[in-house]
A and B are shown apart, each in its own frame.
Chain A
């Protein structure tokens, strides 16, 4: 992106004053190097979002912002229903509630290293990954509805976890106001045998160790110590969420004119929050959030079963579970006034700071863990929410590293087996059903996630706590 199009307010804060139909400014949080590296389309998309009805304060882009569909990925925007505010299916994305869950294992790296091959094979056998894979649960219509209303709580009630897990999941494991009747039969059909599956693309289950600690007091409060082994799961709402995105993108594109919404581009398809389609989407989207929470809960159960076989001394318990593709109703201070807003985070992680009433007691003093997944073979990070982020970004932070290279380019450059061998030589075991998939996900096809979290830290969106490095990666 051309930095001459931006006004630099501080080292990591860049503004675009309203022009054309923009109702509010656009704000990008990033280092100069990251901004220069951003596609010019991010400028177009972040300013287009600023033109949508009812947007409050600003249209934000996180340090990992890149070209998405409608909203930039790494985009955050809040809308006020009392001022004609809208909800957008493209502002949430197809993979509704895609997110990251991090589990402690109670193990040290030296306990896992000797059996990591056995562990990798066992996890790959147990956790369905890749295109066309199915889970062991087949949902009846009644169970589908129960899952869509209950989320991770549904999974725990069916034996896939313990009640203690729920406190360490956003929304306490169950998104309120979900409406399963707003979810199409096609979406339900796509999900019937996909509960407890990882999916493909950049989704994974990784066994990682804490390589570095940046904030010892917070790391201690989170119970993270250098050398500890954790398990991270990155996946979302599977076919059900994808179909809801598909269904409502079309409905909103057709209906926008009927609501008098003038869209700079069709891809910004949206509907007023206080409209039939808006309410229908919110009900379905919340059901998809529950689907994602249930999915990560069942995968947790599969990981626990696997560890029980290979490393019986392990005890897998949750650090936290965060989602980075959502629209949630939250109260925020705007010019000293508390307002109820619909906050879209598309490839952005909620990052509540210390004392936030929605956080469980265990994170009241520190703020919430903000889990940032890396790409295959690279580091992941744990950050913590800050007070400042409330004013900066409606308490939002980055979500990961974007691609630096197209899938096509990556495929031309690498062979999957070579990537697997190279990572194995570095001590990282990859298991995947597709070598072409591995080539397309090669570590250097992605931007440096370290630069992204450094910028999020420097901008005050969240603070770095720990760096995780992979030992085993199960890739879809």
Chain B
């Protein structure tokens, strides 16, 4: 079994985030860690505050975009970074908790602000049996 993980993939101007897991939910959680990693080291973010997030979309792919955009919105308006996620999916509804803390520029060294998740290289699907992949390009 392939362990859950996140990775970035190259895009000319921006950056691709890819979450991989044994379930769709795990792939969404890993994609969110990949999103944080665009900005800072996810392991350097402490889980001091919890934010509840719910999204709904017509299909899995738009749901991934919604999920990442909800995190971008929460980060922007609460001045937070997130380091841990728990995602529950039911059809095309997502319920999640994200744990994080206030941005501290000196400690987190945030590289860049994510403007939003795009529909480019957008894909959510099951590959090789029980491996789920959730990915898209985010604009920075």
> Which residues from 427 to 464 on chain A have a C-beta closer than 8 Å to any C-beta of chain B?
433-437, 439-440
**Contact A132 B79, beta carbon cutoff 8 Å:** yes
The contact string, 1 if C-beta is below 8 Å from chain A, for chain B 49-76, is 0000000011001100110010011001
Given A246-B116, A253-B119: A434 in contact with B110 (beta carbons within 8 A): yes
Count, chain A residues at interface, CB 8 A: 50
**Contact A436 B113, beta carbon cutoff 8 Å:** no
Residues of B within 8 A of A73 (CB): 12-13
**Contact A437 B119, beta carbon cutoff 8 Å:** no
Residues of A within 8 A of B116 (CB): 94, 242-243, 245-246, 249
* CA A117 to CA B21, docked complex, whole Å: 50
* CA A14 to CA B106, docked complex, whole Å: 48
Look across to chain B and name the residue whose beta carbon is closest to the beta carbon of A98.
B115
Q: Looking at B10, B61, B62, which has the most chain A CB atoms within 10 Å of its CB?
A: B10
**Contact B115 A67, beta carbon cutoff 8 Å:** no
Tell me whether B86 is interfacial, beta carbon within 8 Å: no
Q: Looking at A246, A265, A269, which has the most chain B CB atoms within 10 Å of its CB?
A: A246
Look across to chain B and name the residue whose beta carbon is closest to the beta carbon of A268.
B119
The contact string, 1 if C-beta is below 8 Å from chain A, for chain B 96-128, is 000000010110011111011111101000000
> Which residues from 228 to 282 on chain A have a C-beta closer than 8 Å to any C-beta of chain B?
239, 242-243, 245-246, 249-250, 253-254, 265-267, 269
**Contact A131 B115, beta carbon cutoff 8 Å:** no
B109 CB to nearest chain A CB (Å): 4
* CA A434 to CA B103, docked complex, whole Å: 12
A-B contact count (CB 8 A): 133
* CA A66 to CA B106, docked complex, whole Å: 33
* CA A190 to CA B114, docked complex, whole Å: 13
**Contact B12 A403, beta carbon cutoff 8 Å:** yes
**Contact B77 A95, beta carbon cutoff 8 Å:** no
A131 CB to nearest chain B CB (Å): 4
Residues of B within 8 A of A245 (CB): 115-116, 139
Residues of B within 8 A of A41 (CB): 12
Residues of B within 8 A of A39 (CB): 12
**Contact A69 B118, beta carbon cutoff 8 Å:** yes
Tell me whether A356 is interfacial, beta carbon within 8 Å: no
**Contact A242 B112, beta carbon cutoff 8 Å:** no
Residues of B within 8 A of A295 (CB): none
Q: Within the complex, which residue of B57, B66, B112, B122 is in contact with A131, where a contact is CB–CB below 8 Å? A: B112
Given A131-B103, A132-B103, A243-B73: A437 in contact with B111 (beta carbons within 8 A): yes
A267 CB to nearest chain B CB (Å): 4
Given A130-B105, A190-B77: A66 in contact with B13 (beta carbons within 8 A): yes
Look across to chain A and name the residue whose beta carbon is closest to the beta carbon of B15.
A407
Q: Within the complex, which residue of A90, A186, A402, A437 is in contact with B73, where a contact is CB–CB below 8 Å? A: A186
Tell me whether A158 is interfacial, beta carbon within 8 Å: no
Tell me whether B4 is interfacial, beta carbon within 8 Å: no
Tell me whether A213 is interfacial, beta carbon within 8 Å: no
Residues of B within 8 A of A437 (CB): 109-112
**Contact B58 A254, beta carbon cutoff 8 Å:** yes
Q: Within the complex, which residue of A93, A134, A246 is in contact with B69, where a contact is CB–CB below 8 Å? A: A246
Residues of A within 8 A of B57 (CB): 250
Chain B: residues with CB nearer than 8 A to chain A? Answer: 8, 10-15, 38-40, 57-58, 61-62, 65-66, 69, 72-73, 76-77, 79, 103, 105-106, 109-113, 115-120, 122, 137, 139-140
Chain A: residues with CB nearer than 8 A to chain B? Answer: 39, 41, 66-70, 73, 90, 93-95, 130-134, 186, 189-190, 199-201, 239, 242-243, 245-246, 249-250, 253-254, 265-267, 269, 402-403, 406-408, 411, 433-437, 439-440, 476
The 6 closest A-B pairs by CB, nearest first: A132-B103, A67-B12, A131-B110, A69-B120, A242-B115, A69-B118
Interface CB pairs A-B, < 8 A, 13: A73-B13, A90-B118, A130-B110, A190-B76, A200-B111, A242-B72, A265-B119, A267-B118, A269-B119, A406-B10, A434-B105, A435-B109, A440-B112
